[in-house]
A and B are shown apart, each in its own frame.
Chain A
Amino acid sequence: MGRGRSLSLEGSAIDTLTIIQVLVSGILLGGIYAVISIGLTMIFGVTRIINFAHGEFLMLAMYGTFWLFTFYGMDPYVSLLIVTPAMFLVGLLAQWSVIQPILGAAPLMQIFATVGLSVAMQNAALLVWHADYRTVRTSYSTSVLEVGGLLVSIPRLAAFGVAVLMAVGFFLLFKYTYLGKALRAVAQDRRSAMLMGINVERIYLLSFGIGTACVGVAGAMLMPMYYTFPTVGTYFVLTAFVVVVLGGMGSMTGACVGGLIIGVIEAFSGFLIAPALKEAVYFVIFILMLLFRPWGLFGQRGAEEVGLK
Chain B
Amino acid sequence: MNALGRPGEPRIYVPLLGLLLIVLAPLAIESPFYLHVLVMILFYAALSQAWNIIGGFAGQLSLGHTAFFGIGAYASTLVFLQYGLTPWIGAVFGGLLASIAAFAISYPCFRLRGPFFTLSTIAFGEVVRILAIYFRDLTRGSVGLQIPFKPSLTNLVFQSKASYLYLAVGFLLLTTWIAWWIQRSKLGHELVALREDEDAAEAVGINTHWAKLIAVMVSAFLTALGGVFYSQFVLFIEPYSVFSLDLSIQFALVAIIGGIGTVTGPIIGSFIVTPVSEFARAWLGGSFRGLHFLVYGLVLIVVVILLPRGIGEWLRIPYQRLLRRLPGWRPFEAPAAAPVPAAAFAPVPAGGNGFLLECRQVSKYFRGLAALHQVDLTVRPGEILGLIGPNGAGKTTLFNVVTSFYPPDEGQILFAGRPITGIRPPHRIIRLGIGRTFQVVKPFTNVTALENVVVGAFCRTTDADQARAEAARILEMVGMGQKMDILARSLTIAERKRLELARALATRPQLLLLDEVMAGLNPTEVAEMIALVRRIRETGISILVIEHVMRVIMSLCDRIVVLHHGEKIAEGTPGEVSHDRRVIEAYLGEEYLIA
Contacts and interface: CB of A to CB of B under 8 A. Distances in A.
B119 A119 contact: no
Interface string A213-243: 0000000000000000010001000100110
Interface stretch (A108-116, A137-145, A159-167): A108-116
A280 B305 contact: no
Contacts of A131: 289
Contacts of B119: 50, 241, 245, 286, 290
A196 interface: no
Interface string B350-362: 0000000000000
A116 B116 contact: no
Given A119-B249, A119-B300, A276 B289 contact: no
Interface residues of B, number: 47
A181 to B, nearest CB: 26
A124 B292 CA distance: 10
Contacts of A287: 105, 109, 120, 123-124, 127
A123 B304 contact: no
B293 interface: yes
A283 B119 CA distance: 10
Interface string B245-283: 110010011001000100000000000000000000000
A73 interface: no
Interface in B116-147: 116, 118-120, 122-124, 126-127, 130-131, 133-134
A38 B290 CA distance: 30
Nearest to B118: A111
Interface string A267-281: 000000010110110
Contact of A276 (B134, B256, B260, B292): B134
Given A111-B115, A287-B124, A276 B133 contact: yes
Given A118-B297, A290-B119, A126 B290 contact: yes
A123 B293 contact: yes
Nearest to B256: A112
B15 interface: no
Given A108-B61, A287-B123, A117 B290 contact: no
A303 B116 contact: yes
Nearest to A50: B115
B463 to A, nearest CB: 30
Contacts of A241: 119, 122-123
B59 A108 contact: yes
Interface string B283-296: 00000111111101
Contact of B130 (A102, A124, A279): A279
B531 interface: no
A111 B61 contact: yes
A127 to B, nearest CB: 4
Chain B interface SS verdict (over half): helix
A116 B294 contact: no
B127 A105 contact: no
A193 interface: no
A274 B133 CA distance: 12
Nearest to A49: B115
A123 B249 contact: no
A251 interface: no
B111 interface: yes
A68 interface: no
Contact of A284 (B59, B61, B112, B127): B127
B301 interface: yes
Contacts of B288: 127
Contact of A116 (B109, B124, B290, B301): B301
A96 to B, nearest CB: 12
B115 A120 contact: no
A286 B123 contact: yes
Contacts of B297: 116-123
A287 to B, nearest CB: 5
A86 interface: no
A5 interface: no
Contact of B301 (A50, A117, A294): A117
Contacts of A50: 115, 118-119
Contacts of B105: 287
B298 interface: yes
Contact of B290 (A109, A230, A276, A277): A230
Interface centre among B63, B115, B126, B131 (most CB of A within 10 A): B115
A107 B114 contact: yes
Nearest to A107: B114
A228 to B, nearest CB: 15
Given A123-B297, A238-B122, A294 B115 contact: no
Interface string B63-97: 10000000000000000000000000000000000
A291 interface: yes
Contacts of A230: 290
A202 interface: no
Interface in B27-72: 59, 61, 63
A294 B120 CA distance: 11
Nearest to B246: A119
A115 B250 CA distance: 11
A130 interface: yes
B396 to A, nearest CB: 17
Contacts of B290: 122-127, 230
Given A119-B296, A291-B108, A102 B61 contact: no
Nearest to A279: B130
A169 interface: no
B308 interface: yes
Contacts of B112: 290-291, 294
Contacts of B249: 115, 119
Contacts of B63: 115
29 contacts: A50-B118, A50-B119, A102-B304, A107-B115, A111-B114, A111-B118, A112-B61, A112-B252, A112-B256, A113-B301, A115-B249, A116-B299, A116-B300, A119-B296, A120-B293, A123-B296, A126-B290, A238-B122, A241-B119, A245-B116, A276-B133, A277-B130, A279-B130, A280-B130, A283-B123, A287-B120, A290-B116, A291-B108, A294-B116
Interface of A: 50, 98, 101-102, 105-109, 111-113, 115-127, 130-131, 230, 234, 238, 241-242, 245, 274, 276-277, 279-280, 283-284, 286-287, 290-291, 294, 303-304
Given A112-B61, A112-B304, 18 more contacts: A98-B301, A102-B304, A108-B260, A115-B63, A122-B290, A122-B297, A126-B290, A241-B122, A245-B119, A276-B133, A276-B134, A280-B131, A280-B134, A283-B124, A286-B123, A287-B123, A287-B127, A291-B108
Interface of B: 59, 61, 63, 105, 108-109, 111-116, 118-120, 122-124, 126-127, 130-131, 133-134, 245-246, 249, 252-253, 256, 260, 288-294, 296-301, 304-305, 308
A-B pairs, top 8 by smallest CB distance, nearest first, are: A120-B297, A126-B290, A116-B300, A119-B297, A123-B290, A123-B293, A123-B294, A116-B301
